[in-house]
Amino acid sequence: MKFTSAILLLSPLLASALSFPSSSDRKVLDDQHKVPGSQPLTFCKDPADYILDVHNVDLIPNPPVPGEKLIIRGNGTFNQEIEDGASVYLQVKYGLITLIKQDADMCEQLPKIDIECPIKKGYMEIYKEVNIPRQVPPGKYTVLADVKTKDKEPITCMEAVVVFPR
């Protein structure tokens, strides 16, 4: 599986991995670290220090339906401008097997969701439609995305643990 098939948090891959979330399957570290909105994401740690202040992220429908269209909608505020050189570390595990573990250039990925670097300081909305594969191998998926500036300052970091029922 190629990294380029996974766009930050908004990739079809992640969307697939987020299918069938249930509260008992989610790793809830702390309620205050839950990403606001209708999806199973949590921040990796207290998001107060992140450059991106996420207001809301919704998956429509939540949970996604295999073989159908999924809308990913979100908004947030960047507390500083994001320049070229920002990176995104993406890790996807299926059970104990690592499917993806890779650093990529964030600015090269963003055009896929109609955003360009530099990202101006201030409010931003995103909207993306993806198609969920009809067949998703059942099992436990762990997804982590850690986004940093070129100076390694944290922009955001989110994770989800989701189990696809057999």
Name the site residues for ligand NAG (rule: CB under 6 A): 55-56, 75
The distance of closest approach from Cβ of residue 139 to ligand NAG in the complex, given in angstroms and rounded to an integer, is: 32
Closest residue to ligand NAG in the complex (CB): 75
Half-sphere exposure of 153 (CA within 13 A, CB side): 14
Burial class of residue 5, CB neighbours in 10 A (0-12, 13-18, 19+): exposed
35 token code pair: 């990403």
The distance of closest approach from Cβ of residue 55 to ligand NAG in the complex, given in angstroms and rounded to an integer, is: 4
67 token code pair: 């073989």
53 or 146, CB closer to ligand NAG? 53
56 or 62, CB closer to ligand NAG? 56
At position 142, the amino acid (one-letter code) is T
68 token code pair: 């159908």
75 or 102, CB closer to ligand NAG? 75
At position 19, the amino acid (one-letter code) is S
The distance of closest approach from Cβ of residue 165 to ligand NAG in the complex, given in angstroms and rounded to an integer, is: 29
